[in-house]
Amino acid sequence: MSLIGCTPFGSLRVDNALSRPRVVLAVSTTAADAWEALGAAGVPGAPATDDEGSFRGTVQFEDVAKVAVTRPQAPVGPISRGVTGVDPLS
């Protein structure tokens, strides 16, 4: 079954369905640097990776902004959402 104008998923290449993130942050990136990078790229968040490049979570601009005001040198790793399952703002 096919919908008019839609490509069946079996013939859809991953690189046509997904795009590379405009910003990728290391978990060691400071909140201040992350705030600047996310703001400059105009994105609401970015993936955070460890030293090996493995996905560790997602860093949200809103969370970074809150931390950057009081702790600009804090790394974004602890405030990333996703992999750790920890509430980043507690």
Tell me how long the chain is: 90
Alpha-carbon dihedral sign for residues 82, 29, 47, 61: positive
Query: Which amino acid belongs to residue 88?
Result: P
Q: Residue 15: what pLDDT?
A: 63
pTM: 0.71
CB 29 within 8 A of CB 75: yes
- Per-residue pLDDT tens digits for 4-63: 555 555 666 666 667 788 999 999 999 999 999 999 999 999 999 988 888 889 999 999
Q: Residue 82: what pLDDT?
A: 74
Q: Which residues of 65-80 are buried (b: 16+ CB within 10 A; e: fewer)?
A: ebbbeeeeebbbbebb
* Res 87 pLDDT > 50: no
DSSP state, residue 85: -
Report the C-alpha gap between 6 and 41 in whole angstroms. Answer: 31
